[in-house]
Amino acid sequence: MTFLDEDIYEAVKYHLPKVKEYVLSHDGDIKLLCVKNGTVYIELTGTCHGCSMSLMTTKMVVQKRLRELIHPGTQCRQCRWNTGKCPA
């Protein structure tokens, strides 16, 4: 079953407070940018932006939690440019 990007976006937005708990404990935050072709694009901010472990946080914390809460096939990518915009 495939889901519309808009549906995935709303699901992520709804569950984001639960997903953010770990990142907030490190004085960081997560900004949901968009969903394109089923992939969730986020931006890590605060102390998490630019951290050498940010890629691991994206995959092993954020993506893992989204897969538990939304769908096992959920993909998550981090945008590191701090533009606040979804990548083209």
More confident residue, 85 or 21: 21
CATH number, domain of 72, equals: 3.30.300.130
Residue 87, domain member (yes or no) = no
Give per-residue pLDDT as tens, 34-59: 999 999 999 999 999 888 999 999 99
Residue 85, domain member (yes or no) = no
Give per-residue pLDDT as tens, 63-72: 999 999 999 9
Residue 88, domain member (yes or no) = no
Is the pTM higher than 0.85?
yes
Whether residue 88 is predicted with pLDDT greater than 70 in this model: the reply is: no
What is the count of structural domains for the chain? 1
Contact (CB, 8 A) for 49 and 82: yes
| Per-residue pLDDT, 56 | 93
Residue 19, domain member (yes or no) = yes
Which among 32, 45, 44, 43 has a CA at the least distance from the CA of 5? Answer: 32
Residue 83, domain member (yes or no) = no
